[in-house]
């Protein structure tokens, strides 16, 4: 049976990209449950691995070595990834709230959101301190601090093992950077208390010159100090909060059984009050086997969690999670040296660090080196040539599965048409256009936002203001009870995008198909003469309002070869409207278009053909999306790349380089390309940049008919 013909009947949501969920995603990708849509919700495209943070702070690991790439894992698992922070769970309605979008419903929910060491109750900490958790924000702040010069003054609030380990790592890194450092650990009690390895860690602190400040409670944090209750001031321009992890405050307000802010789960990892909710990691309290907060329990819980989620979805018997009573603790000592402790016994030395390094590397390798999945085979008795077609690249999300320039050129007789049709009704001039996108991502909300912006591109390109839109929504086959929620998510997202640009969705049509496909017919109002493709003049400057590379990044994402941050940056650009850019460009533009499926070279070619001119473009001036050049150099291409390049043979000259290849890259919700008077170009680009667009002057219009990129 074709995958697209299997109806969706259940919604499984994983809230948080913690260690347990990362391993669940890996298992799901190897054996998904047919009929279930899997959703992962996380604030960012990556999740840092806690075990390697001290090593990164000390300088042993690069920043990206810490990151679990959730975009890649989600694609492997066939899961939609929602980048956002949940602020409420309604267990009665079985829905989660993510600001800026419609509620996300679930039949089965699993929570793995970790904890935080944010010291919200300490005056000044929010402004002048940084919590050790969440780790992503801490790592970014630390990298910025390491880039500075001059003496370092670092204070760690919290004298537990985690705080001391971070202090040792900080001191080692500052020494390696050649910066004089004052590092202090502050605790209201005794540092390390009665921990079995206390003496060894205290010796390591002394060897690194780390000050111990015990029996002193911090009462405030200032830009240059931590103020203690006894009036002392501990000099610090980088204050770290590591005084014990605390649960996220919002979780306790959701009406589920809690203990001290932690979700209470039974021995099957199910909420004791809401059995359709599971939990793992530091955010839960194990009712039947209470354990301290440690990542090892999340990793050990993952197989049981994955099994039980699958069991509930398929009607099988659940399993019991039996956490070990004790576990090996490996603590970095700053350099490539570590302390091991278990059952009160301790060992230390470089061999312990190598042991810890191997354990951490093995865990990350499981999530980075994902098993290759078998390609689908043609059914028995298939037509000749089907196997070859199936083996070739499928229409990728990077071009929205559009038809190529060659096919369209046959229909249009080779003549470039303007971006939208201009009609006059009762003296009011309007522009009309339509566009749609295949689901380039597994989140229909993301696709809806990009499709709305993509459809308004033609309106903006002619200098008009979007007024009304009609929607065409094709959703995959699913149970009737799910259809309303899916449609609500899509239409809420699109309606918000249009409303922000002063337009309204006034109707549309919906149907079912094999995958998500969304489109909009848009009408806009003209307050001035339309800006068309014709009108570019020799000497005009060419301005591009934002980066290119959506095609190659999205194609690479489908092949799991783009990084999470690269994909997230592309998604962010694609879902940013360009009405403000049009308002800046249109009053000055002699010609303008939006850069979409034909790529930069193709759409510039349309301007040149309609205006009877040529162009010269500087490749080094092109704004590029993060990762676009790297992926192009690696040989990644979107499906329409070859057709776009072939359609311009004889009209465009460009070197055979990875950067030049990007001029043929098809764009989705791409930038505006305008020909403007050269003397006004600098101030126009400055205005676009002030408005938040990564705009650039990329070249100029020439008298000759050729288009040169060099």
The Cα–Cα gap between 73 and 54 comes to 24
- Please identify which residue in the block is written with the tokens 């005084």: 243
The answer to whether 670 and 458 are in contact (CB under 8 A) is: no
The answer to whether 197 and 331 are in contact (CB under 8 A) is: yes
> b/e string for 321-340 if b means 16 or more Cβ within 10 A?
bebeeebebbbbbbbbbbbb
Who's near 410: CB < 8 A, 6+ residues apart? Answer: none
Torsion angles phi and psi, residue 662, rounded to 5: -70, -15
The Cα–Cα gap between 108 and 309 comes to 8
Q: Return the structure tokens found at 250.
A: 């919002």
- Strand, helix or coil for residue 295: helix
Torsion angles phi and psi, residue 653, rounded to 5: -115, 135
Q: Residue 53, exposed/middle/buried by CB under 10 A (0-12, 13-18, 19+)?
A: buried
Q: How far is CA 125 from the centre of its chain?
A: 28
**Where are the extended beta strands (E) located within 482-537?**
504-513, 517-525
Who's near 164: CB < 8 A, 6+ residues apart? Answer: 156, 185, 191, 192, 201, 205, 331
Q: Residue 149, exposed/middle/buried by CB under 10 A (0-12, 13-18, 19+)?
A: exposed
H-state helical runs in 515-598? 550-558, 564-574, 579-585
Q: Say what the alpha-carbon torsion angle 256, 262, 265, 267 is, to the nearest 10 degrees.
A: -170
Task: Report, in angstroms and rounded to the nearest whole number, the Rg of the chain calculated over CA atoms.
Answer: 28
608 is catalytic: no
Beta-sheet pairing, 181-187 with 152-157: parallel
List 512's β-bridge partners, or say none.
Answer: 475
The answer to whether 662 and 549 are in contact (CB under 8 A) is: yes
List, as one string, the DSSP characters of 393-439.
PPPPGGGTTPPPHHHHHHHHTTPPPPSSEEEEETTEEEEEEEEEEE-
The answer to whether 267 and 320 are in contact (CB under 8 A) is: yes
The sign of the torsion formed by the CA atoms of 212, 213, 218, 220 equals negative
List 212's β-bridge partners, or say none.
Answer: 185
Q: Among the options 283, 399, 608, 697, which is catalytic?
A: 399
- Please identify which residue in the block is written with the tokens 């899916």: 486
- Please identify which residue in the block is written with the tokens 């705080």: 163
> b/e string for 433-455 if b means 16 or more Cβ within 10 A?
bbbbbbbbbbbbbbbbbbbbbbb
The Cα–Cα gap between 435 and 420 comes to 10
Write the Ramachandran bin of 49: left for phi over 0, alpha for psi from -120 to 50, otherwise beta: beta
H-state helical runs in 586-657? 599-611, 628-633, 641-647
List, as one string, the DSSP characters of 186-243.
EESS-TTTT-TTHHHHHHHHHHTT-EEEES--EEEEETTEEEETTS-EEE-SEEEE-S
Angle at 409 between CA 405 and CA 413, to 5 degrees: 170
Write out the catalytic residue numbers.
Answer: 399
């Amino acid at each position: 049976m074709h995958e697209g013909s299997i109806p969706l009947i259940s919604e499984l949501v994983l809230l948080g990209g913690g260690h347990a969920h990362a391993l669940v995603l890996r298992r799901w990708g190897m054996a998904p449950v047919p009929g279930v849509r899997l959703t992962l919700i996380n604030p960012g495209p990556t999740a840092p691995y806690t075990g390697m943070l001290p090593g990164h702070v000390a300088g042993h690991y690069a920043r990206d070595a810490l990151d679990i790439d959730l975009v890649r894992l989600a694609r492997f698992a066939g899961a939609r990834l929602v980048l956002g922070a949940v602020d409420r769970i309604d267990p009665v309605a079985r829905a989660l709230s993510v600001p800026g979008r419609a509620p996300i419903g679930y039949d089965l929910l699993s929570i793995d959101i970790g904890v935080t060491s944010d010291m919200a109750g300490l005056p000044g900490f929010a402004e002048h301190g940084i919590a050790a958790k969440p780790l992503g924000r801490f790592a970014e702040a630390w990298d910025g601090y390491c880039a500075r010069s001059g003496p370092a003054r670092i204070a760690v609030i919290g004298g537990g093992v985690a705080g001391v380990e971070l202090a040792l790592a900080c001191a080692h890194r500052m020494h390696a950077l050649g910066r004089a450092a004052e590092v202090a650990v502050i605790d209201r009690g005794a540092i390390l208390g009665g921990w079995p390895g206390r003496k060894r860690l205290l010796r390591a602190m002394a060897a690194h010159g780390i000050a111990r400040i015990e029996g002193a409670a911090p009462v405030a944090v200032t830009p240059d100090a931590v103020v203690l209750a006894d009036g002392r001031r501990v000099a610090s321009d980088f204050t770290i909060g590591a005084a014990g992890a605390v649960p996220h405050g919002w979780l306790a307000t959701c009406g589920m059984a809690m203990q001290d802010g932690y979700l209470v789960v039974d021995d099957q990892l199910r909420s004791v009050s809401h059995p359709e909710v599971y939990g793992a990691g530091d955010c839960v309290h194990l009712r039947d086997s209470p354990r301290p907060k440690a990542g090892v329990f999340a990793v050990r819980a993952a197989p049981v969690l994955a099994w039980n989620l699958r069991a509930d979805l398929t009607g099988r018997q659940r399993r019991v999670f039996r956490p070990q009573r004790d576990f090996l603790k490996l603590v970095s000592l700053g350099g490539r040296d570590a302390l091991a402790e278990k059952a009160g016994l301790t060992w230390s030395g470089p061999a312990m660090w190598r042991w810890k390094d191997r354990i951490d590397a093995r865990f990350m390798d499981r999530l980075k080196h994902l098993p290759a999945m078998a390609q689908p085979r043609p059914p028995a008795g298939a037509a000749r040539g089907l196997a070859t077609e199936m083996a070739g690249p499928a229409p990728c999300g990077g071009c929205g599965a559009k038809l190529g320039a060659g096919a369209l050129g046959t229909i249009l007789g080779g003549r470039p048409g303007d971006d939208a049709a201009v009609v006059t009704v009762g003296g009011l001039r309007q522009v009309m256009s339509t566009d749609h996108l295949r689901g380039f991502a597994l989140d229909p909300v993301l696709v809806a936002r990009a499709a709305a912006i993509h459809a308004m591109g033609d309106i903006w390109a002619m200098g008009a203001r979007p007024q009304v839109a009609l929607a065409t929504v094709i959703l995959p086959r699913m149970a009737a009870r799910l259809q309303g929620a899916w449609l609500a998510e899509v239409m809420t997202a699109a309606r918000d995008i249009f409303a922000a640009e002063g337009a309204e969705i006034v109707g549309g049509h919906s149907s079912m198909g094999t995958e998500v496909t969304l489109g909009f017919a848009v009408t806009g109002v003209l307050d001035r003469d339309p800006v068309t493709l014709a009108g570019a003049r020799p000497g005009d400057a060419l301005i591009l309002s934002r980066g290119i590379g959506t095609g190659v990044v999205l194609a690479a994402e489908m092949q799991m070869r783009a990084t999470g941050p690269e994909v997230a940056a592309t998604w962010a650009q694609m879902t940013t409207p360009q009405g403000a850019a049009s308002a800046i460009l249109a009053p000055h533009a002699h010609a303008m278009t939006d850069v979409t499926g034909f790529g930069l070279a193709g759409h510039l070619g349309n301007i040149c053909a309609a205006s009877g001119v040529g162009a010269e473009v500087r490749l080094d001036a092109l704004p590029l999306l993060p990762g676009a050049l790297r992926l192009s150099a690696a040989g990644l291409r979107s499906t329409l790349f070859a057709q776009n390049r072939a359609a311009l043979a004889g009209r465009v000259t460009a070197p055979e380089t990875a950067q030049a290849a990007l001029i043929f890259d098809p764009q989705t919700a791409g930038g505006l390309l305008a020909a403007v008077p050269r003397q006004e170009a600098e101030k126009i680009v400055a205005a676009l940049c002030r408005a938040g667009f990564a705009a650039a002057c990329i070249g100029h219009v020439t008298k000759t008919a050729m288009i040169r990129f060099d």
